Amino acid sequence: MIDLREGLQELADAGARHGTTPGPAAAIRRGRQRRRRIVGTIAAVIALALAVGNGATARLADLSDLPATTPSTLPPMPPLDLRSGLPTGPAETAAFRTLERRVRRCRGGVLEQPQVVGYFRSAEFRRLVMVVAKLPSVGEGTICWAGGVFGLDGAGALPGPVRPASIATGLGAQVSRGAGYGWVRGLVDRRSFRVRVRFRDRPDLLDVPVIHGSHTYLVNFYVGLFPPGWVPVEVTAFDAEGRQLAGCAVDPSASALPRCPGS
């Protein structure tokens, strides 16, 4: 209706100026010109808005897309002949029985029966390493688990009782020492691929492969051995691409990182 009134008004104005009334073709032509001008103005406004918006979006994306830590080129992981399932050898069976008794006393889990998460043998230290845990119940915020280091005959002992550990911890660490070796162990986020250990007054770094258990554990585990006399200062977890996920201090006096849960 507005276009019709405007068209009739233009005809009347033109007739008053020229003494003749333009025909319908002239009115249609002027209407098309007017619509083209309106469309062109709207397009220009939209283009300007998009240009400004894209610039702002690009600046935000440049900031928000930056990873928390830049992926780094880490050395290859040391070989780890990790095994899982119920052990059948006498040494592995003896180690499992020792850990099973300790973990069974820990309160929590779906079943009372602990399970083997994984185990391996260290040729360098001539030790058998094993991790045993109970599956947590649905909604349970803790897990009962233990990592043990044994002789190749399965003989060994655990330091202290096994207590429920929080599965919300992105990285934890406990350090112990045995005859001719030291060892560090803990829970780690499921995205983690390796845990790097830094030592006091030493340039050496220890990269420990993560022991990936069933997804029902909600966490992964790690156990690393190191020479006697070495003193761990901090541990750092990395994913498979080399991005740092978490870090904590075993010795807060020698590191700026927060103290590791369990240390």
Most distant pair of Cα atoms in the chain: their distance: 118
- What is the C-alpha to C-alpha distance for residues 205 and 235, in angstroms, rounded to an integer? 10
Q: What is the pLDDT of residues 86-140, one digit of tens each?
A: 888 999 999 999 999 999 999 888 777 899 999 999 999 999 999 999 998 888 8
Tell me what the mean pLDDT of segment 74-89 comes to. 85
Residue 192 to residues 14, 189, 222, 241, 244, Cα–Cα distance (Å): 80, 6, 10, 10, 9
183: closest CA among 236, 228, 249, 213? 228
Tell me what the mean pLDDT of segment 27-47 comes to. 48
Listed by start position, the domains of the chain span 2-64, 90-254
Q: Within 13 A of 188's CA, how many CA atoms are on the CB side?
A: 31
| pLDDT surpassing 50 at residue 52 | no
pLDDT value for 78: 76
* Entry pTM: 0.71
| pLDDT surpassing 90 at residue 24 | no
Cβ contact 205:198 at 8 Å? yes
Confidence of residue 31 (pLDDT cuts 50, 70, 90): low
172: closest CA among 234, 87, 98, 239? 234
What are the structure tokens assigned to 90, written together? Answer: 């006498």
